[in-house]
Amino acid sequence: MKSLGRLTGCALALACAHENKGVVAETDTKMKGAAAAEASQPPADGATAAIRPFNVKVPENALVDLRQRIAATRWPDRETVPDRSQGVQLEQLQEFVRYWGTGYDWRKAEAKLNALPQFMTTIDGLDIHFIHVRSRHTGALPVIITHGWPGSVIEQLKIIGPLTDPTAFGGRAEEAFDVVIPSIPGYGFSGKPTGTGWDPDHIARAWAELMKRLGYTRYVAQGGDWGSPISGAMARQAPAGLLGIHINLPAAVPPEVGAGIAGGGPAPAGLSEKERAVFDVLMTSAKKGNLAYVVMMAARPQTVGYAVTDSPAGLAAWLLGHPGFAQWTYGGDPNESPTKDEVLDDITLYWLTNTGTSAARLYWENAGRGVTSAAAQKTAEISLPVAITVFPDEVYRAPETWARRAYRNLIYFHEVDKGGHFAAWEQPELFAAEIRAAFKSLRPADGKVAAH
């Protein structure tokens, strides 16, 4: 999910089970739709008491239905070019989807999720799912981490260990974090908005409320992809307790650069050699249609939804068409991260929760506000500390000059040598090390940062 301007730019509450009407308890009713829920009833008093334990349990018939649909896939003709310029290539996708239907095991993903403390709470009438792992180390700094599209909380599972227990991954005890990872509204196990208005600004306010309910009085926020505008909105809103943010897809593109790309060039005068190289990359990406998916979901998410809801192969193709997967080899390299099964964990989560359409609507809510545009994201209004890590295979490598122009209180800027759009998935230990370094200066000297 990257847009530059419009073009550039214990409970389971699954979609079919609750449709925002509350949690379905397995002990109270028969299983419905793609999944059922195991939940303790929420206590009646207090905002914090409204947090309910959450546990994933997908009924077997939902998995049988998935495999049957995969087996019945009607495939299109092969592309007429030897590359991805017409979209996801047939041979790769066929092999991937056939493995999904015959060799992949969702129960392993379910077990990984259920090994973590998961919860549900209702904010502004919508169920919000989140993972919450407290560090064993004293004085851990709380961080709320936001995923993007076509990702989910699956993206961040491998960074939980390095962040909460840094001593096991080359860090120090005083660098520990308490980690909160929510599912964006309309994604995964969170509820689906039934009306408009759940844009990044609204989600940012909900995240501040979530941290308040958890009792955190001082915390930081992190995000890439959709997590960047959501974290940026939190920084603009400056809720009580938020110390600063770290982002890995910064809204650093200057207005004149964005205008030049939208208009098809030429490059603005006065760009440095490095800035001109980034401009050329962005211009080439726009001309090749790499952001066509942004335009489609921003304009017609419901139209996209019919295919991704009815066909597992259609859903997989749509998600894998994201430019972040352009260099991914579909599990062909056994050392590659994310693995084939990890990517299928993410895609299967979309399928079982029936959130392909509701996730796409976030683009509609955000239409016209390019997530990499400094002007669209109102970065000039951010006074809280901002930290940025640039990964080399991201959609664009923000120059430090643009970042400092966009964020007046930039406290950390670092370009690393590996990783791309799904950096937490691809390079979890490096990603965690960057978060530690980014927020080092925001930790109080006495180490007393959070309520427990």
* Residues with active-site annotation: 225, 363, 421
Contact indicator for 386, 414 with CB cutoff of 8 Å: no
Instruction: Classify the C-alpha dihedral 293-395-170-444 as positive or negative.
Output: negative
Beta bridge partners of 389: 414
Task: Say if CB 27 and CB 134 are below 8 A apart.
Answer: no
Determine the Cα angle at 346 with ends 339 and 436, to 5°: 75
Q: Kindly report whether the peptide bond that precedes residue 150 is cis, defined as omega within 30 degrees of 0.
A: yes
**Structure-token pair, residue 9:** 């730019």
Please give the single-letter amino acid code of residue 415: E
Sign of CA dihedral 85, 91, 92, 93: positive
- 180 bridge partner residues: 132, 144
CA dist list (Å): 348 to 22, 183, 242, 313: 22, 15, 34, 11
Q: Which pair of tokens denotes residue 158?
A: 């491998």
Find tokens 């689906």 and name the residue.
Answer: 192
Looking only at the bridges linking them, the beta strands covering 141-146 and 177-182 are parallel
Q: What is the CA radius of gyration of the chain?
A: 21
Pairs from 337-341 (Cβ < 8 Å, separation ≥ 24): 337/158, 337/425, 337/426, 337/427, 337/428, 338/422, 338/425, 338/426, 340/96, 340/99, 341/104, 341/105, 341/108, 341/109
- Residue 155, phi then psi, degrees to nearest 5: -55, -35
In the block, which residue shows the tokens 């927020």?
A: 439
Helix (H) or strand (E) holding 273: helix 273-287
Give the number of other Cβ atoms within 10 Å of residue 322's Cβ.
23
SS3 56: strand
CA distance linking residue 310 with residue 306, whole number of Å: 6
SS (H, E, C) 61-74: HHHHHHHHHHHCCC
